[in-house]
Structure formats: structure tokens, C-alpha cells
Amino acid sequence: MIVDEKSVKLSYRITYAMAVVSCVFSLLVGMLMVSSLMAVRTSSPLDMPEIDQLRAVLKENPTDEILRNKIRDLDLVSRRFYFTGLTSLRTGSFLLLGGVIIMLVSLKTMASLRRRLPNPREYPASPDMLQSAATARWVIAGMWVALITGAVVIGIMERSGLEAVVPSNGVPIKTAQPVTMPVSGQMVSTTVSPAQPVTASPDAAEVLKNWPGFRGPLGNGVSAFTNMPVSWDVKSGRGIIWKVKVPLSGMSSPVVWGNRVFLTGASETKREVYCYDIANGTLLWTARVDAAPGNTNKVPQVSKDAGYAAPTPVTDGVNVYAIFANGDITAIDFCSKKIWDVDMGLCNNTYGYSASLAIHKGKIIVQYDSVDADGKVSEMIALDAATGKKAWSITRPVADSWPSPIVAQTGKGAQLISMANEWIIAYDPVAGKELWKVKCAGSEVTPSPIYAGGLVIASIAAEQVYAIRPDGQGDVTKSHVVWRSEDGVADVSSPVSNGELVFFAHSGGTLTCIEVASGKIIWDKSLDGEFYASPGLAGDRLYLVTRNGEVFIVRAGRKYEEIGKTSLGEPSDCSPAFVDGRIIMRGATNLFCIGNK
Amino acid sequence: MPGTCKGMQTELTKPQSRRDFIRGILRNVFLAVLACFGGTVILRKVCLKADGADHGKACSGCPDLVRCKSPYSWLARPVSTRRTVWQLDPAKCIQCGRCATNCVLRISAVKCVHRFEMCGYCKLCFGFFQPGADTLTSAAENQMCPTGAIRRKFIEEPYYEYTIDESLCIGCGRCVKTCGAFGNGSLILQVRHDLCVNCNECSIARNCPAGAYRRVPADEPYLFKPASQNT
Amino acid sequence: MRKILVMLFLLVSTLTCFAENRFPKPQFEKGYTLPETTAPGPRSILLESVDVVVLLAALSLATWLVLKKRSRRGVFLLTIFSVIYFGFWKKGCICSIGAIQNVTLWLFDNQYVLPLSAAAYFILPLVFALLFGRVFCAAVCPLGTIQDLMILFPVKVPSCLAQILKLIPYVYLGLGALFAATGTAFVICRLDPFVPIFRLSGKLPILMTGIVLLLIGIFVARPYCRFLCPFSVLLNWMSKLSKWHATITPDECVKCRLCEKSCPFDAIQIPNINQVAEPRISGVHRLIMLLILLPFLAIGGGWAGSRLDVVLARENPTVRLAEAIQQNDQSELKLMVFEKEAFDGSGMKKEDLYVQAHTLRNKFRKGGWFMGGFLGVVFGCSLIGVSIKRTRDSYEPDRGACLSCARCFMSCPKEHQRIKKLNQVNC
């Protein structure tokens, strides 16, 4: 025991000495570190006013060699000071850590050597619980009062200047999400077609930023963006942001809202709506469109060139609305949930139902033209976007047709313009009343009308182009047709116009430019390809897609000028969609997003 | 040992007190909550892939989740096993110099990086020389870099190669500013991941006036690409 | 003709592609190899999942050591491992305490992507606490363990002072969650006092706070854990409900008082069965009064918290920028020059910024109500807690405050008996 006690005493002394030494060492290192920290702070190379001053002086006297050397010396000294300071800080921190560890170890050993058995007899009597609980209550209550008072005093003191800081006048407090224009692409104001005023609805700017339906926000193939790519290469992937295979084929064109690209595809038995992420082409969801209530699952007779999913869907930013060749129309929300579906009945259509949907103020407009048989007549139908209930319908004295209706903002308000075999008819899209009509010839009417430069321009295949002033009443064939042109008649694809000039692409490969105001032909050009897809216009660039998937980019000007020619690498009959620097195109099998990454 | 036996017996036969009962119920509630949370997190990761396999059922990867009004949208809150690291977007960077002073490391983990493929190999490098330097030598009075971290090497008349000595670079971005303003912009600031300790809240990001910092996937940790390649 | 045009076009387009550079890349006469731009990767992509596995292993080991083995030595060794691994090697981030904010932000922001590791760091310690008590604090948390090693001469904190200090973590948690929920900042990470020590570098004030806390920790055991740590609030709740919590004695308590001073954290509750009791009626009376007071405390707290919206929102960079721009416009001041420059460059409208700032302030007002209400309930509950007398006939750890560090085990004579018996069996 005695020996033990001795050795314990000895080791206690040793650890004591170690603790003292390491403590002194750590303190010394700590002090040295403080001094090197000061060195680093004072010699920060970011803040060297002396050198800057000397440099300024040197600029005045560029021949002063002494000054030059002085700068060099000063620079060297300060940098050396700084970096050695940093190194010594680093070394110091390691040394300090070591010192502290040794100190801790020796102190712990000391403590364990001195450990004694606890002696409860020395412990004070346990305190009065009631007394301490009462004190605790007061203490907690006191702290609470102090906290509350502190918070209120600070809050009131700082609040005094609040109203001055954020003015409530003129600031739309309600809009939490500030609507910012796309930063990367210059928005062209809607003066692209001067006669087309922006729709009065509050989110007109939002609509313009997107591509909500067939042929874009205005139904005329014109984009509000100008920053579209002009060259890409599918093979090498240059300029292709993404390319994805579309599960089911279709002639419908892509539509875009925000980050989403919508597309439809169908086969004899299956009908699907796809939603892609515009950023990377991820298929966000697929919505199977089952037969709507009442549908007898009859397979429509369609031609190869129309297919089962020819009509392009339309979106209002809330839902996407899609119609298929079997007459089923459905509304699906942005998360793939079905909102409603309606069976319109099979359409007696020679090639298969193809008219895309239009949308106006919460109404989905369907041009449902069919051959007059089985008691079916051609109709223009408006469905309520929220419920799918019929808002209005009006029969039409026309046979089956393939153009899509458009809603144009004319000087006389919004007009729903449709064309079909024998009649070009405008309706009031709200009330569903006929406004004016123009008699035309033609048998198979396919291109859609456009509204440009104050005129409705309709290209009747195998006949002529009509330009109509949309301010008449009744049959205005004699009075309001401003000009007719037999040149440039497009037979499948729809025309596109910048307000001044209108361009027609014939399936035979001829591109014709006609002046909107006069109907005078400006130029025509034979291109190597067949045009089925409707051309698009972004800025002054005309995008024309041939059936083989060649893309001609032509300047929309008074002289023919080819800006570029490239290819999709696969056939395409679908019209491209344009949004902020990106073109979305559908080929026979793939969906492409073209633009700068 | 009779004592132990007795103790154990009392332990076993002691009736459950009311407090223990409540405690047990609460414990199970919390366990269920934590299990739901963990389950959601894991399920979200394991079951719902963003490759479209979830045919319209879930909203995983939905870009408009924020505006989604569905009461179930919280189920789709994103979770990632992908490790992310901090990086600054050179396209947003305004070279304020705070990268040099705000890093938690003694010398900032942000360094100037030279993209050689963009460099013009100029004799008069705007990133290297002080504006208006009269002689094009690497003397201290001519250099832009406060720490002399840019090395200038002659290749052939009139081209010079510039390399960054990262042990000296403190990430102040002075050379980046002038190179971007007058040169090709081949010098950019980047977080160097051999140095960055990947704080949960990046101290520089918090102080970055341009909001140029963001988390990027750890397998593509650099933002070298120029802002716009070709139009 | 067209082909020539196309080729010309292609040439022009490639030229324009290069012409973006003001100074085209030279064609070197001598062979010059283009140096590669170096891109050193993050130190270890795998580390994150390894960390989670190590965390799980360390928690399991700690549980086994505390509950089954009852070995202070084992806990101590694990403590050292945790300081080295989770502290000095992993350099702090991400830790369970900080993960609170990641989870909060995830709950409030649809777009925030929660790293799976953060979720694991948040959830694992809580699950373990719910089952086994605060074994995470005992030997795994790097912030706790580094302080644990500093405990040399623990003193008892006066109970009045401890009552106040114990409430600070709730305030800290409330503020931290509020800032995280509004997407403003991760204040708990920023003010983490020990991370600079693990990294051997950091912001000077925080580093000094860490050192001071460690020095205080020589006498006041684990001050951060007991009086600051926001995660301790959650662990405390979970541990109170724990199924298998560590006990001081492996057997029946003999009330020998030997363990009374063995806990450096004052977490041992002494038996109060012999104490003079208060008349029952006055106790019940007080309890009813306090229960009535509770909603008022909550409402008062909420109101006071909502008054702080302007002050707290100022922590948000957007709000700060909006205020600075406003003040710049009103006077000749030039505040936040760089932020202003970046804002002007972004093409955003001032009005939009003001609207954003306003929305954020409203969020803070709403959050302030919740935070204040929460604190009111906490204060009310702790008032009730000190007023309820629970009878204890033996020495027990306070389940909420006990860190399961295993220090008290060896002071129990029954524990010595158990070990002796174990050794006999082994022999």
C-alpha cells in the first residue's frame, strides 16, 4: 500500500508538471497566434493603400527607378508578411491543439488520481423542494416578462419606419410572385403584327410568353420571342437541348406552358397526353385518355396523313385540353389528373378529324365539321373549360374540313374565324352568333386562316387566297373581300404573316410572299421539299419544315434570303413551337428541343 | 442472490403506471411520425423515379410543385441522395471581392481558374497587368494580382501563357473583373472542391451580392461553361 | 448555288461562334499543347453515405455500451472516436443540429431538395432517443463530445440560474426554425461554436465563442448541450418518452446517496418521498391557475413574436436589399453597393422587389405568431412542470436532461456487485 501510495504521488507530480508545462506552452502558442493573426490582418494584400499611392506617383514619373524598386520591395515584404503569418497561424493551431490535448490528458489523469470515494455525509441536506419550486416559478415568469418586453420594445422601435420603407401605394401587394419578363430573350412587343392588339384578358403577357395551342398564342404561328436558334445538328447533338422518343405517334404539334411541353399521341385503341419537362425532356407524366362516357369505342376511319391524334391540344395554364380522332375531348390538369371528358361522337370525316382546339375566355372551341350523313351536321361548339358542358353551338352550312379555327382580336372585338368547304365564317366567340361569312369555292379545305394586318387571310386549296376585312355583317362576299390571289395558294400548311407580308408554303415546295395590304406578289421561290407543317415566324426568321424533316430558315423580308438550312433527321408534319430561345419540334418518332443549353 | 431476484421480480410484476401508459402512447405516436417522415423520404427516393415510370400518378420532378394546390403535393417534396456541393455561377458573378474575405477557411476555397481554351494568349493581358502599366514585365508595380498568383510564361512572339498558382490565389477576383471587361473572360472564379469543406450554409453564398452561389451535383462540380456559346 | 450558300452560312456561323472572343485563340507555330483546366473533385463523393452508416453504427454501439455493457470506459472511447471522426475528420457539416433547418426548410419550401443524409442525421438520433434515451448526446454528437472531454471540475449550476438557462434552447430553436422556414438563413449553422475548432479556422467571433464555451465547460459541464443546443429540445422530449432508458443502478436503489454528486449535468433526481408536502388543495388551485394562464401566455407570446417581423425579416437578404434601395432613393446614402449593382444588372423591377420584401415580412409576421405561441406554451409548461410534484422513492436520472453518459453507474454499490458477479461467472 505504501509503495502504491508513493507511486501514485509520483505520477501525480509528473502529470501535474506536464499539465503546467502544456498549459504554459498552449498559452504561449496562443499568444503567438494572436500576434500572427494581427500580422495577417494588417498585411492583407487586398488592402494596400501605400502601394496604390506609390503606383499613382510612378505613373506621373515613369522614369523613377528608385520608386519602382520601392514598390517592389514593399510588395515583397507585405506579401511575405502575409503568407508567413498564415503559415504560422496554421502551424500554431496544430501546436495549440497538441498542447491542449496533452494538458487535458494530464489534467484528467490528475483528477482520476485524486478521485476519492464519495462521502454522502458531507453532502448538504437536500433543499426544500417547495421553496425551490416557488423560486423557479418566479424566475421563469420573470424571464418570460423580460422576453416579451424586449420583443415588444425592439419591435415597436424598429416598426416606426416601416411604412416609409415599403410604400403601400401603387404596389400590388397581392401579387406575391412578381411577373418578370424573360431575361434571356428579348421580348418583342406585340407590334409584330400592328393590327393585332393584345387580348384584354389580364394574363395576355403570360399567354404571349407561352405557346398555348396550335400555331401559338395568337393562332398565327408568330412568336413573341426573337432569340431562336438558327443552326443545329441532330447527329452531333449540337444545339439540341434534348431529344426524346414519343411513345405514340400523332400529327398534333407540341404546345408549351411554363416549364411544360404537352403533346398527344394515339393509336387505333390508345389515346395519350404527354407532359415533358422543357428543361431536360423528362417525361413528367403520361395521361391515358380512356373512352369518354357514351363512347362506343368505334375506331374512326383515318388516313395515314391524319392519324388518330391530328388535332393539337390547347392549354390555358390550368388544364390542357385535347381532342382525338374518335371524337373524345378531355381536360387534364397539369398534374395529369382528368378534370372532365366528353364524347362528341364520331365525326364523318373523309381523312380523319384534324381541327385543333381554340380557347377563348374559358371556352374551348371545337370546329366539328362532318359530312352531312347519319343525321350529323357540321357544328361550331364551345365547351366550358372548367366543366366540359356545352356553352353554345351553332350549325354550319359546310361539309367536312381540316382547318383549325382561330380567335382573332380584330378592331371589332374578338372574332372566331373558321373556314371550310364553301364558306369562311366568323362568329362571336362569347355568344356563339354568326358575324359574317364569305362564300368560297374549293373542296378540301386544309390550311387554317390567319388574321394579319387587319385582314383575315384564308387560303382555299385549289382555288385562291381571300383577304377579308372583318368588320362586315352577314354575307360579305361582295363587299368585304379586299383582294383575292390565285398565286401562292397554300394547300396543306397555313400561311404566316408579320403584318406587312404574308407567306404561303405550298406542298409542292413553292414559298410565296405576298403583300398583305395590296395582295401583290412580292417574290416566290421554289424550295427543295414538300410542306405539310405550317411555318412559324420568330422575329424576322421564318421556319419552314418539309415533310422530310429539312428545316429552311428564311428571312421574312421583301427579298428572299435564306438564313439557314438544317434538318431534324426524320420526317415531320408538325408545326414547331417557339418559346424563349427554344424551338420544340415533333418529328415522326421523336420530340426535339432545340436551343442553347 | 435473493436481492437481485426480488428486484427483478418486482420489475416484472410491477403494474404499469398511468404515466408509463401515456408515455408509451406518445412514444408510439412519435415513432409513427418519424417513421412516416423517414418512410416518405425513402419511398420518394426508391419508388418514384423521375424517368416517367410513375405514369401520371405522382408529381415527382414536377417543375410547378410550388403552385400546386393539391393537398398531397407535400408527398412529392424532393429528396435527393445526390451529393451536392457549392459552386458559383460565373455568369452571375460581379467580382465584388467578397469570396476572398467571407470563406470560413483561412485562405478562401474560391480561386481564379483559367480556361485555357478561351484564352487569347495576349501579350497585354488585362487580367495580369495593372491598367496603364507602361512596361509589360511581371514587375510588382505592373501586376494586377495582389498576391502575384498569376504566372506569365513566354511561348512565342507575341503570345504568353498565363497560369494561376492556386496556393497564392486568394480569390479576390480582380483579374477576373478586368479580363471579363476587356479580354475574353477566360479567367473565372470557382470554388475549388479540394479545399471547400461544403458547409451546410456557405458563408460566401450568404454574403454574395449577386446570388451567384448555388448547390450543384457533386459529380459535375464546376460551372466552366461560358454564359452563351453561340446564338 | 444553294449548297454554296449553305456552306457560306455554315462558315459564317462558325466564325461568329469564335468571334465571341475578343481575342481569337492564336495558331501557334511551334507545337504548343493546350494545358488542361484543372477541376479537382470534391474530396469524397462516397463520404456522405459512409457517414450515415458510421452514424448508425456509432449510435448502436453507444446504445449497447450504455444500456447493456454499462461501461463508462467504452462510452469514453467512443466519445474520442466521435470527436475525431465527426469533428476533426468530417469537419462538422452536416450535423444533426444543423439538419433541423434542412428539414424545416424542406417542409416549408416545395422546391428545396432535402439531401437524404440530412434526413438521416435528423431522424436517427431522434429515433434512438425515443427508444434508448439520449445516447446520441452521450457519445456521438461531435459538439457534445468535444465538450464532454473538457469536463474536469464540474460544479453545480444554481437551480434558479439553470431554470432560466434551460429555456434558451427553446428560443434558439424557435428562431432557427423561423429563419429556416422563411428560407432566410441557417443561423444555427452559422453560430455553431465548435465547427471552427474542428476546421482549425473560421470566423474569429465564432471561434472565440467556441473557445470560451470550452473553457467554461471545464467547470460547467457541456454548457452548449444543456443551455443552447436547439436539437437538445427535441432530444429532451423524445428521451422523456424513451422505452429503455439507462438507470443509475442495475438493481433496486438502496438510497445510499453515493450517486448524488456523480452527475456533472445535475440530471439526477433525488427521492422526495420524505419531503414535507404542500397541502393538496393549494397545489391543485395553483395548477388550475397555471392551466388557465397557458393560452394567455401563448397568445401574448405570439403577439410579441409577430411584432418582431420587421427586425427578424432584416436578416433576409431580399428584405435587406429592398430596404437599402429604398433608403438609397430617399437620401444620398449608398448602402449595399454591390447588391444594388447586381440587382440593377438582373433587370428586375424595384416594385417587384418591394413586393417580395413585403411578402417575406408577412411570412415573418405569421411565423412570429407561431414562434411566440410556441415559446408561450413552453414557458407555461415549464411553469406547470416545476409546480407538479412527482413522488420519487429512488435515485433516478431525469430522463429528459440525462445524457446517458454512464458516469453515475460506477458510483452505485449495486453496480460493483453486478460486475463482481459477472467476473465470477466468467472465471
| Facing residue for B222 by CB, picked from C39, C196, C201 | C39
Residue B174 lies in a domain: yes
Please write the tens of the pLDDT for every residue from C234-262.
999 999 999 889 989 888 888 888 888 88
Residues whose CB falls within 8 Å of the CB of residue B88, separated by 6 or more in sequence, listed in order: B99, B110, B189, B190, B191, B204, B208, B212, B213, B223
Whole-model pTM: value is: 0.67
Domain residues for the domain of A99 are: 2-114
pLDDT at residue number A159: 67
Residue B4 lies in a domain: no
pLDDT greater than 60 at residue A179: no
**Per-range mean pLDDT, top range of A161-170, C16-25, C55-64, C280-289:** C55-64
For the sheet containing A550-555, what is the strand order? A222-223, A536-538, A541-545, A550-555, A562-567
The pLDDT of B9-14, averaged and rounded, is: 45
Domain residues for the domain of B167 are: 84-217
Q: Do C379 and A136 touch (CB under 8 A)?
A: no
* Rounded CA separation C23/C17 (Å): 13
The pLDDT of A7-21, averaged and rounded, is: 90
The pLDDT of A369-381, averaged and rounded, is: 79
Cis-peptide into C154, omega within 30 deg: no
Strand pairing class (A481-485; A501-505): unpaired
pLDDT greater than 90 at residue C62: yes
pLDDT at residue number A177: 35
pLDDT greater than 70 at residue B43: no
Nearest to C357 by CA among A176, B210, B209, B212: A176
Q: Do C13 and B210 touch (CB under 8 A)?
A: no
pLDDT greater than 60 at residue C10: no
B146 chain-A contacts, CB cut-off 8 A? 45-46, 48
pLDDT greater than 90 at residue C299: yes
Mean pLDDT of all residues in chain C?
86
Concatenating the DSSP letter of every residue in C133-180 gives -SHHHHHT-HHHHHHHTT-SS--PPPHHHHHHHTTHHHHHHHHHHHHH
> Do residue B131 and residue B171 come from a single domain?
yes
Q: Is C135 exposed, middle or buried (0-12, 13-18, 19+ CB in 10 A)?
A: buried
The pLDDT of A367-387, averaged and rounded, is: 83
Q: Could you tell me the three cell numbers for A422?
A: 364553301
Judge contact between C371 and C305, C-beta under 8 A: yes
- Among A95, A112, A147, the strongest candidate for a mutation testing the C interface, having the largest count of C CBs within 10 A, is A147
Neighbours of A95 (CB within 10 A): 18
Number of domains chain B is built from = 2
pLDDT greater than 50 at residue B64: yes
The Cα of C377 is separated from the nearest Cα of chain B by a number of Å equal to 18
B107 chain-A contacts, CB cut-off 8 A? 86
Which chains are adjacent to chain A, needing at least 3 Cβ pairs under 8 Å? Answer: B, C
Please write the tens of the pLDDT for every residue from A442-494.
677 888 999 988 899 988 877 788 899 888 888 888 888 889 888 878 888 89
Complex confidence, ipTM: 0.83
> Do residue B44 and residue B155 come from a single domain?
no
Of B76, B99, B127, the position where a domain reaches its end is B76
CA nearest C372 in A: which residue? Answer: A148
pLDDT greater than 50 at residue A350: yes
* Rounded CA separation B65/B74 (Å): 9
A166 chain-C contacts, CB cut-off 8 A? 322, 326, 354, 357-358, 361
The answer to whether C304 faces chain A, any CB pair under 8 Å, is yes
pLDDT greater than 50 at residue A212: yes
> Do residue B114 and residue B138 come from a single domain?
yes
pLDDT greater than 90 at residue C217: yes
Q: Could you tell me the three cell numbers for A214?
A: 396550335
Residue A489 lies in a domain: no
Residue A252 lies in a domain: no
Neighbours of B47 (CB within 10 A): 11
Residue with cell 417534396: B77
Nearest to A455 by CA among A243, A72, A196, A122: A196
pLDDT greater than 60 at residue B55: no
pLDDT at residue number A60: 79
Please write the tens of the pLDDT for every residue from A18-66.
999 999 999 999 999 988 888 888 878 888 888 888 888 887 787 888 8
Residue B120 lies in a domain: yes
pLDDT at residue number C85: 93
> Do residue B135 and residue B176 come from a single domain?
yes
Nearest to A528 by CA among C6, C13, C7: C6
The pLDDT of C12-37, averaged and rounded, is: 65
Judge contact between A110 and A16, C-beta under 8 A: yes
pLDDT confidence bin for C140, thresholds 50/70/90: very high
Nearest to C197 by CA among A418, A94, A127: A94
Residue A14 lies in a domain: yes
pLDDT at residue number B52: 36
The answer to whether C146 faces chain A, any CB pair under 8 Å, is no
Please write the tens of the pLDDT for every residue from A328-339.
899 988 777 788
* Rounded CA separation A439/A430 (Å): 24
Neighbours of B9 (CB within 10 A): 10
pLDDT confidence bin for A175, thresholds 50/70/90: very low
pLDDT at residue number A160: 53
pLDDT greater than 80 at residue A115: no
Q: Do C203 and B104 touch (CB under 8 A)?
A: yes
Residue A35 phi/psi, 5-degree rounding, is -70, -40
A22 chain-C contacts, CB cut-off 8 A? none
Residue A87 lies in a domain: yes
Neighbours of B128 (CB within 10 A): 25
pLDDT at residue number C230: 95
pLDDT at residue number B118: 83
Q: Do B94 and C252 touch (CB under 8 A)?
A: no
pLDDT confidence bin for B22, thresholds 50/70/90: confident
Cα C342 from chain centroid (whole Å)? 33
The pLDDT of A151-167, averaged and rounded, is: 67
Number of domains chain A is built from = 1
The pLDDT of C84-89, averaged and rounded, is: 92
Across the strands, what pairs with B187?
B114
Q: Do B62 and A284 touch (CB under 8 A)?
A: yes
| Facing residue for C164 by CB, picked from A130, A143, A165 | A143
The pLDDT of C302-308, averaged and rounded, is: 91
The pLDDT of A523-543, averaged and rounded, is: 89
Judge contact between A474 and A498, C-beta under 8 A: no
- Domain parsing of chain C, residue ranges: 48-245+399-426, 280-387
Residue A590 lies in a domain: no
Residue B35 lies in a domain: yes
> Do residue B144 and residue B58 come from a single domain?
no
What percent of chain A stands above pLDDT 90? 24
The answer to whether A147 faces chain C, any CB pair under 8 Å, is yes
Neighbours of A299 (CB within 10 A): 12
